[in-house]
Amino acid sequence: MGAAQKILTIMGIIYTIVGGGVLIGMLFTSGIPLVMYLLPAVFLLLGIGFLVGVYINVAGKRNIVKKGTRYPAKIYGYVDNTSVVVNGRFPQNVKVHYFDSHGIEREAVIPTSFTKGSNEYPIGMTIDIYEYNGKYGFDKNSVRDEILHREEELMDDKPINPGAVKLIAVTCPNCASTYQATQGYSNRCPYCGSYQNV
């Protein structure tokens, strides 16, 4: 569970307790107009909404790891997560290279959202990633110094052979713009700067 999810969980618990407590207290008090029950009911529903939203998000991430295909990947670099600002700067996501089940080299951006300079995910280390229906998850406890078969292919800075790549049209999930992207690689939207795994 990430920091934002923890904050939303705490807010959900507080809103639910306050809304539910006031609502229960008002039920046992006589002479209160029905309109007054609306305010604590809104707090209660808002708190429950926060908790349900966090649960759905966490269950989705857990589902990727549980049902997804595991690939050992090499940490290749970092990209800024421009969708959020934490303490005046962007958190970082990890760019990994791995071989899929057909032995084809792939690239993905894993949503780690770690602080720049924290050295949680050093370049060149191996991490287990999971792919399920085009979405990626990771095991943060799997960062290790392991040599993979054909590792030198994953870590070299070779130019991409234009004849070997397939370009497709994709729609950015953040800004809804359409652009041309390379299939099997993480691509940066030229309009909003967000990264998308294609």
Closest CA relative to residue 83, chosen from 49, 64, 111: 111
At residue 25, the 3 state secondary structure works out as helix
Closest CA relative to residue 22, chosen from 14, 65, 169: 14
Integer Cα distance of 140 and 106 in angstroms: 20
Write down the pLDDT at residue 190: 86
Phi then psi dihedrals of residue 105, to 5 deg: -70, 130
Half-sphere exposure for 1 (CA within 13 Å, toward CB) = 14
- Express each pLDDT in 147-188 by its tens digit: 888 888 888 776 656 666 788 899 988 898 898 888 877 888
- Express each pLDDT in 68-98 by its tens digit: 999 999 998 888 888 778 888 888 889 999 9
**Mean of pLDDT values over 108-135:** 86
Domain locations in the chain as residue ranges: 3-66, 68-197
pTM: 0.69
Percent of the chain whose predicted confidence (pLDDT) is above 90: 33
Residue type, 39: L
| Alpha carbon 108 to chain centroid, angstroms | 12
